[in-house]
Amino acid sequence: MIAFLVIGLLIGGAAVAFVLQNITPITVTFIIWKFSGSLAMVILSAIFSGALVSTLVSLPSSIKKGLQISSLTKRNSKLEKELADKKIEVESEQLKVD
Protein backbone atom coordinates (compact mmCIF):
# COMPACT_ATOMS: atom_id res chain seq x y z
CA MET A 1 0.00 0.00 0.00
CA ILE A 2 2.79 2.40 0.86
CA ALA A 3 4.59 1.45 -2.36
CA PHE A 4 1.53 2.57 -4.38
CA LEU A 5 1.50 5.86 -2.47
CA VAL A 6 5.19 6.45 -3.20
CA ILE A 7 4.73 5.56 -6.87
CA GLY A 8 1.72 7.89 -7.07
CA LEU A 9 3.69 10.72 -5.50
CA LEU A 10 6.55 10.19 -7.95
CA ILE A 11 4.18 10.19 -10.93
CA GLY A 12 2.42 13.27 -9.57
CA GLY A 13 5.74 15.07 -9.11
CA ALA A 14 6.78 14.17 -12.65
CA ALA A 15 3.44 15.49 -13.96
CA VAL A 16 3.90 18.79 -12.09
CA ALA A 17 7.44 19.15 -13.47
CA PHE A 18 6.12 18.40 -16.97
CA VAL A 19 3.37 21.03 -16.68
CA LEU A 20 5.75 23.69 -15.35
CA GLN A 21 8.21 23.12 -18.20
CA ASN A 22 5.56 23.15 -20.96
CA ILE A 23 3.48 26.27 -20.36
CA THR A 24 3.74 27.55 -23.93
CA PRO A 25 0.27 28.60 -25.13
CA ILE A 26 -0.92 26.84 -28.30
CA THR A 27 -4.14 26.63 -30.32
CA VAL A 28 -5.50 23.28 -31.42
CA THR A 29 -7.92 23.25 -34.36
CA PHE A 30 -10.06 20.25 -35.28
CA ILE A 31 -12.59 20.76 -38.10
CA ILE A 32 -14.54 23.78 -36.74
CA TRP A 33 -13.54 23.37 -33.09
CA LYS A 34 -10.71 25.50 -31.68
CA PHE A 35 -9.08 25.18 -28.28
CA SER A 36 -6.38 27.38 -26.80
CA GLY A 37 -4.36 26.27 -23.81
CA SER A 38 -0.92 25.36 -22.59
CA LEU A 39 1.01 22.67 -24.39
CA ALA A 40 1.04 20.52 -21.26
CA MET A 41 -2.74 20.67 -20.84
CA VAL A 42 -3.30 19.73 -24.48
CA ILE A 43 -0.93 16.76 -24.22
CA LEU A 44 -2.39 15.59 -20.90
CA SER A 45 -5.92 15.96 -22.29
CA ALA A 46 -4.96 13.83 -25.28
CA ILE A 47 -3.47 11.16 -23.01
CA PHE A 48 -6.53 11.04 -20.76
CA SER A 49 -8.86 11.00 -23.77
CA GLY A 50 -6.94 8.07 -25.24
CA ALA A 51 -7.06 6.20 -21.94
CA LEU A 52 -10.81 6.81 -21.69
CA VAL A 53 -11.47 5.63 -25.25
CA SER A 54 -9.33 2.49 -24.80
CA THR A 55 -11.15 1.70 -21.53
CA LEU A 56 -14.54 2.11 -23.17
CA VAL A 57 -13.49 -0.09 -26.11
CA SER A 58 -12.24 -2.88 -23.84
CA LEU A 59 -15.20 -2.71 -21.44
CA PRO A 60 -17.57 -5.06 -23.36
CA SER A 61 -15.00 -7.87 -23.49
CA SER A 62 -14.20 -7.40 -19.80
CA ILE A 63 -17.89 -7.66 -18.91
CA LYS A 64 -18.27 -10.74 -21.13
CA LYS A 65 -15.29 -12.43 -19.47
CA GLY A 66 -16.62 -11.56 -16.01
CA LEU A 67 -20.00 -13.11 -16.82
CA GLN A 68 -18.30 -16.18 -18.27
CA ILE A 69 -16.15 -16.58 -15.14
CA SER A 70 -19.25 -16.28 -12.95
CA SER A 71 -21.08 -18.91 -15.00
CA LEU A 72 -18.12 -21.30 -14.91
CA THR A 73 -17.71 -20.82 -11.15
CA LYS A 74 -21.36 -21.75 -10.59
CA ARG A 75 -20.99 -24.76 -12.88
CA ASN A 76 -17.84 -25.82 -11.05
CA SER A 77 -19.62 -25.64 -7.69
CA LYS A 78 -22.50 -27.71 -9.05
CA LEU A 79 -20.12 -30.35 -10.43
CA GLU A 80 -18.18 -30.49 -7.15
CA LYS A 81 -21.44 -31.08 -5.28
CA GLU A 82 -22.41 -33.83 -7.73
CA LEU A 83 -18.98 -35.42 -7.29
CA ALA A 84 -19.30 -35.37 -3.51
CA ASP A 85 -22.77 -36.95 -3.78
CA LYS A 86 -21.43 -39.68 -6.09
CA LYS A 87 -18.54 -40.40 -3.70
CA ILE A 88 -21.01 -40.83 -0.84
CA GLU A 89 -23.15 -43.09 -3.02
CA VAL A 90 -20.14 -45.23 -4.01
CA GLU A 91 -18.98 -45.49 -0.39
CA SER A 92 -22.45 -46.60 0.73
CA GLU A 93 -22.54 -49.20 -2.06
CA GLN A 94 -19.13 -50.51 -0.97
CA LEU A 95 -20.33 -50.83 2.60
CA LYS A 96 -23.33 -52.83 1.43
CA VAL A 97 -21.04 -55.20 -0.53
CA ASP A 98 -18.69 -55.70 2.43
- Tell me how far apart the alpha carbons of residues 3 and 31 are, in angstroms, rounded to a whole number: 44
At 60, which helix (H) or strand (E)? helix 39-97
pTM here is 0.57
Over residues 27-32, mean pLDDT: 86
4-24: pLDDT as tens digits? 788 888 888 888 888 788 788
- Tell me how far apart the alpha carbons of residues 45 and 23 are, in angstroms, rounded to a whole number: 14
What does the domain layout of the chain look like in residue ranges?
18-97
For the cut 70, the answer to whether the pLDDT of residue 96 exceeds it is: yes
- pLDDT at residue 82, as a whole number: 94
pLDDT level of residue 78 (50, 70, 90 thresholds): very high
